[in-house]
């Protein structure tokens, strides 16, 4: 299953498909992870408070997904199911710290205070005054989120990467 990518437009259309899919999957994975967290802690979901935590993963996935797809699949011209799954998993892994960084930047710029409920392990309403604190906070929060709900995002990313590899291979064969 190693179809070629003959035209430059095929590469851009593939990256567009990957970007849109990654953004939808990133937002969906965040929704599943937060819902799991609230259910695990016996809390009522705080969907309105968590808006930034759906937007940030979607935006980060919109950038990370096509980048990894291009680096690991398009550039070496090797489209396989295994590579699709690997790209999905690695993208999900790398997205965690970037998502937290973007979320903290948005929260700090908007001066919003949200803690996603009292059972959340870290109060997100941190007073952050400089970029170094943003970076440190995002690294700590990403380790915690990978520990608690990272398995959800890695599974979702791997499945999405595999499905996307199959879809792209099918589209390439039928051209």
SS3 content of the chain, % helix, strand, coil (to 5): 75, 0, 25
pLDDT at 8 over 80: no
- The tens digit of pLDDT for each residue in 66-104 reads 999 999 998 888 899 999 999 999 999 999 999 988 988
Sorted by sequence, the CB contacts under 8 Å of residue 4 that are 6+ apart come out as 77, 172
Residues of the chain above pLDDT 90, percent: 45
Query: Which of 135, 67, 63, 68 is CA-nearest to residue 104?
Result: 135
pTM, full prediction: 0.81
Task: State the pLDDT at residue 116.
Answer: 45
- The tens digit of pLDDT for each residue in 126-170 reads 555 677 877 887 888 889 889 988 999 999 999 999 999 999 999
Average pLDDT, the chain: 82
């Amino acid at each position: 299953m190693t179809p070629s990518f003959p035209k430059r437009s095929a590469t851009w259309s593939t990256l567009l498909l990957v970007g849109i899919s990654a953004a939808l999957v990133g937002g969906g994975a965040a929704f599943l992870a937060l819902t799991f967290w609230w259910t695990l802690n016996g809390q009522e979901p705080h969907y309105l408070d968590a808006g930034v935590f759906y937007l940030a993963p979607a935006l980060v996935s919109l950038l990370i997904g096509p980048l990894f797809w291009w680096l690991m699949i398009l550039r070496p011209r090797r489209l396989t199911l295994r590579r699709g799954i690997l790209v999905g998993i690695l993208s999900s892994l790398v997205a965690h710290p970037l998502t937290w960084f973007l979320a903290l930047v948005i929260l700090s710029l908007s001066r919003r205070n949200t803690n996603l409920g009292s059972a959340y392990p870290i109060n997100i309403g941190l007073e952050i005054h400089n970029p170094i604190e943003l970076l440190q906070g995002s690294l700590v929060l990403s380790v915690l989120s990978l520990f608690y709900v990272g398995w959800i995002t890695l599974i979702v990313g791997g499945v999405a990467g595999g499905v996307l590899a199959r879809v792209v291979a099918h589209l390439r064969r039928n051209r």
